[in-house]
Structure 1
Amino acid sequence: MGRLEDLKANVEEYFQSAELLFKQGLNNAAFMMYFKALVAITDYILWRDLRVLPENHRERFRIVKPRYPELYNVLSYYFPYYRDTYTKRVDDRVLVAIRNDVIRLKEKIE
């Protein structure tokens, strides 16, 4: 499997895991997996277009911000919620919003 195929498989695996957790009412775990799917979508786009894979979130944000402002806005909006899932419960509205954004962005790489 090539790098793009691996990244796409990761997107699908994270998304399917998130969907299962979402249906089970495990909201924090579902949110974390939707966020991982969002990051994998971002990495897919970065590899496809620039042949670059960031080593961490800071580098990812730095690369994405000037080149993909819409994607940056989505990523940066959910990142604080992602960090908060370690100590707080995710709000249902935020969970549904990230799910919808992941579905929308996932369609752009299919």
Structure 2
Amino acid sequence: MASGKKTLEIRRWRPDLAATEDLPIVENGRFLTQDGDEDRNGAAVAIVKVKTVRPFVLSDMEAACASYFEDGWFAWELVDVRPVHAARHIVAARGIYAVEFAP
């Protein structure tokens, strides 16, 4: 995402964000499957804005860097992507949550 190759984030839910709000993207090393799951070794990789949210379609596969397609998911169109190189770990969790780090 920070390199600009991935321009869509694919999720089953819609974010409650205004198009002007910043969203930090935290990468983690394991798939978080349940509410409350966390990975304490997450890393901030970018700060983005979510321009629009729309249904995920098959032609989105490349922009999402996705390996499979399933109906019913949402494509979050990401803009204003700003790479972050944080020097410390950040907790990765499910959903949208507040993080503090020095960009």
**TM-score range, shorter-chain basis?**
under 0.3
Give the structure with the higher percent strand: 2
TM-score computed with the length of structure 1 as normaliser: 0.24
Higher share of residues assigned helix: 1
Q: Structure 2 length normalisation: TM-score? A: 0.25
